[in-house]
Structure formats: structure tokens, C-alpha cells
Amino acid sequence: MVVNRKRIVIVGGSFGGVNAAYELRKQLGRKTDITLISKESAFTFTPSLPWLVMGWREPGPLQVPLAKPLKRAGIHFVHGNVEALDAEKCVISAGAERFSYDTLLLATGAELDYGAVPGLGPVTGFTESIFNVAEAGRARTALAETLSHDSGRIVVGAAPGASCIGPAYELIMMIDTVLKRAKRRHRFTLTYLTPEPFIGHFGIGGIGNSSRMVQDEFASRSIESITNARIIQAEPHRLILADGQECGFDFSLVIPAFLGSGFVRAVSGLANPKGFIPVTPNLANVKYPNIFSAGVAVAIPPPFATAVPVGVPKTGHMTELMARAAAHNIVAEFHGHPTIDGLSLPSLCIADAGDTAFYMSADPFLPPRNKAVTKRGKWARYLKLAFERYYLARIRYRLPSLHFGW
């Protein structure tokens, strides 16, 4: 008797896609065909990219080429861009290749919506960014040039609708630390520009006492802040806000808003107008139940209305938990077993500040919560570094999942 093998296709080679692939292989053994398609050839530990901008790290040690570890796990790896998805026929296209699937998992992350603000972005605009190795390397060069001068104006922040704001907090405090160590801090102005209604909001109303903690930190570092900021245009050496304010700069890094992947936006009914995928609690799409999603690609409405739009962040930790929940639910549906809630998840984040760091955890991620922890100390810097090294080894060698703090 011939038994049809289940075909699972995963799109995305970062925290969501790789972890989902490993978890599916672990639970299903070798009796299922698993294909992972990624536009990047290597996994990058993106939480460490602010260190790359500062010149404290090099790109190579932050990356793991995916082909070899995925092959060892029996996962077919395709390095290429997904160009089209036919959700009715269950076919996805990448270059000249077409892949049929029984179940599709989209862990596609997002595209950077520089076009939402004229002049924003590092290639055709006037501001830097930090979401891949190339961007971080460019920002590193620009920052080093600014810091080589006797004085300067540094503006770091986020555009309206931005969701992954954490790196901006890290970077501006790291710059403050470097300047203080060189005894040149008094020669530079540091301004944090954000659509958040208050410092430490993070798009989710804060975590525990994070707002008070970060506001005190900014005050002690003499970092100016402008909240409810709606950037409407970036020009050479200045950002223009909707209320008429202008922020001059010699170096500026602005976190853009995100868009869902282009091929996702092209499928009618799969995503919302921004291209993010609405899901049920088991992480299946509301229109196509055999399409699951995890991480940044998932549409999660903000828990609070704000004067200027601020998106909900999805940390690497949260993305991994969502990916593992999606994998569990895919297997459960194959076998007719109950699924689990993949949205009411905990999350943790460590934000480095150069000379100290902030540890923040929340359970669940969105309020109201059963638990919220915020702590500050140098120990958190070492914890982040240790977790980075462990995580890269985990991706390379399929080590067991490790989550501290829960």
C-alpha cells in the first residue's frame, strides 16, 4: 500500500522558520517532506546587530549558513525569493521552482516600508537603519564618521507605525556610553525621536515599570526625547515632523514601519492591508486553514490606541515560541489531536545600554498580564552575550531549546 507523504513548506530562514522546521522534523520524524525557502542563505542573530553598528562585533560570528544544518536534519533548503503563492491550488513559486504543499507555514518577517516617509532609509534616503547585516554595516561607517568629529547631533528613533523599536533604545544608550568613555559626551547632543506616547511604551503600553526605569535612564544620560513624533519627511541633515518641528542631525538612524511580504499582500484575503496575516489562536490563517504563520508576519492589533500609530513588536523569543506552537498545531491537526493557543505567549527581551542592560519579561506578552519583570544591571549584558552564543550553536547543531526566566 502506498502512503502519501505530507508536504510541508516553510517560508523564512530566521527565528520563526528555522525553529518551526526543526520542531516539525523532531515531532514527525522522516516520514514527512519539509522544505524551507529563505531569501537569505544564513541565519543572522539580529538582536546583536546594534553591537555591529557600534563596531563591537563583526558580521561573520553572528551568522550560521543554513544549508548544512538543515540538510543534516533532513530538511530541503531552498535559497531564493518567493515570488508567488496560489493559496487555492496550494502551490508556492520561488524562481523557476514550484512547490506543492499540504501545509504552508509563513515566517516571512517583513519588508521595510521606507516609502511611507519621503527621504527615509539608507539607500535612496538620508537616514540609516539596522535590520540586516548590510544596513548595520552602513550605519557603522556613518556613525564612526560622525563620532570622529569634535561635535555632532545624533538623532535615533522610529517612524510612525514602527513596531521593532528596541534597537533604537539600545543604540542611543550605547552611543552615550562610548562618548562618556572618551570624555566627549558634552560635545554631542543625543535625541530620541519616537511615535510612542511615552518613553518605555514599546508599542504595548510598557512592561511592568519599564517606562519609569527607561525615563530615569534617559534623564541620567541627558538624552533628549520627543514623543508622539510623526516624521513626515527626511532631508539632508534634518527630520521634519507633522507639528512643524525640525530635528537637525549629523547622524540619524530611524526604525521604519513594516510591511508584510509582497507575495503575501498579493493573495486576496490572506492578509490585512499592510500585508500581515490574521490568524486564529492556533496560528492558522482565518481564510486558509492550511496556512499557518509565526512571528513578525502575524497581524496582532495594538492593545492601546495611540495618537501616532505604534506597532506591536515580536521579539525573537516570542517568534520562536510562536513557531514551536505552530509546529505543534500542524502535527496535532495531522493526527486529529487538540491544538494549543499560540497567541497568548510570554516573551522576554534584553536591551543593552553599553555599560548596563535591561532585562524585561512579560507573561503573556500583551496586557493584562500574570507576570511582568523588569531589571537592570551589567549581568544582563553578559546574559545577552551568552544567549547569542548559545543560540547560534543551537541553530548550527540543533541543540535543545533554552529559555531562561520562566
Integer Cα distance of 299 and 112 in angstroms: 16
Rg of the chain taking only CA atoms, in angstroms: 21
Q: How much is the pLDDT for 320?
A: 95
pLDDT tens profile 355-385: 999 999 999 999 999 999 999 999 999 999 9
Contact present, 320 and 332 (Cβ < 8 Å): no
Contact present, 217 and 351 (Cβ < 8 Å): no
User: pLDDT over 70 for what percent of the chain?
Assistant: 98
**Is the four-CA dihedral 117, 119, 122, 127 of positive or negative sign?**
negative
Enter the C-alpha cell of residue 325: 506552537
How large is the average pLDDT for residues 108-125? 96
Whole-angstrom CA distances from 28 to 24, 63, 73, 215, 263 are 6, 27, 12, 48, 28
Of 64, 82, 85, the C-alpha closest to 73 is 64
- Catalytic residue of the set 143, 179, 296, 349: 349
Of 389, 377, 383, the C-alpha closest to 404 is 383
Contact present, 328 and 23 (Cβ < 8 Å): yes
Strands 33-38 and 7-11: parallel
Helix (H) or strand (E) holding 52: helix 49-53
How large is the average pLDDT for residues 383-397? 95
pLDDT tens profile 18-76: 999 999 999 999 889 999 999 999 999 999 999 999 999 999 999 999 999 999 999 99
pLDDT tens profile 117-138: 999 999 999 999 999 999 999 9
- Catalytic residue of the set 53, 164, 229, 291: 164
Q: How much is the pLDDT for 5?
A: 85
How large is the average pLDDT for residues 181-190? 98
Enter the C-alpha cell of residue 140: 557603522
**Average pLDDT score over the chain:** 95
Residue 402 — very low, low, confident or very high, per pLDDT cuts 50/70/90?
low
What are residue 93's DSSP bridge partners? Answer: 84, 98
Flag whether pLDDT at 16 surpasses 70: yes
Q: How much of the chain is in helix, strand and coil states, percent to nearest 5?
A: 30, 25, 45
Give the SS3 label for residue 238. Answer: strand
The CATH topology of domain 114-257+349-382 is FAD/NAD(P)-binding domain (3.50.50)
Domain 7-112+258-344 has CATH 3.40.50.10470: no
- Residues 321, 322, 324, CA angle at the centre, nearest 5°? 65
Q: How much is the pLDDT for 31?
A: 87
Helix (H) or strand (E) holding 84: strand 82-86
Task: Kindly report the number of other CB atoms within 10 A of residue 328's CB atom.
Answer: 20
How large is the average pLDDT for residues 189-197? 98
DSSP 8-class letter at 162: -
Give the SS3 label for residue 229. Answer: coil
Residue 405 — very low, low, confident or very high, per pLDDT cuts 50/70/90?
very low
User: pLDDT over 90 for what percent of the chain?
Assistant: 95
Q: How much is the pLDDT for 399?
A: 85
Enter the C-alpha cell of residue 321: 515560541
Residue 2 — very low, low, confident or very high, per pLDDT cuts 50/70/90?
very low
Residue 400 — very low, low, confident or very high, per pLDDT cuts 50/70/90?
confident
Helix (H) or strand (E) holding 214: helix 210-221
164 is catalytic: yes
Flag whether pLDDT at 309 surpasses 90: yes
Residue 401 — very low, low, confident or very high, per pLDDT cuts 50/70/90?
confident
Angle, helices 166-181 vs 210-221, to 10°: value is 30
Task: Kindly report the number of other CB atoms within 10 A of residue 34's CB atom.
Answer: 24
Q: How much is the pLDDT for 404?
A: 44
How large is the average pLDDT for residues 217-239? 98
How large is the average pLDDT for residues 8-27? 97
* Cis bond before residue 197 (omega within 30° of 0): no
pLDDT tens profile 151-183: 999 999 999 999 999 999 999 999 999 999 999
Residue 403 — very low, low, confident or very high, per pLDDT cuts 50/70/90?
low
Contact present, 236 and 126 (Cβ < 8 Å): yes
Flag whether pLDDT at 226 surpasses 70: yes
Of 136, 4, 110, 133, the C-alpha closest to 64 is 133
Flag whether pLDDT at 147 surpasses 50: yes
How large is the average pLDDT for residues 288-308? 97
Integer Cα distance of 228 and 243 in angstroms: 10
User: pTM for this one?
Assistant: 0.95
Contact present, 151 and 265 (Cβ < 8 Å): no
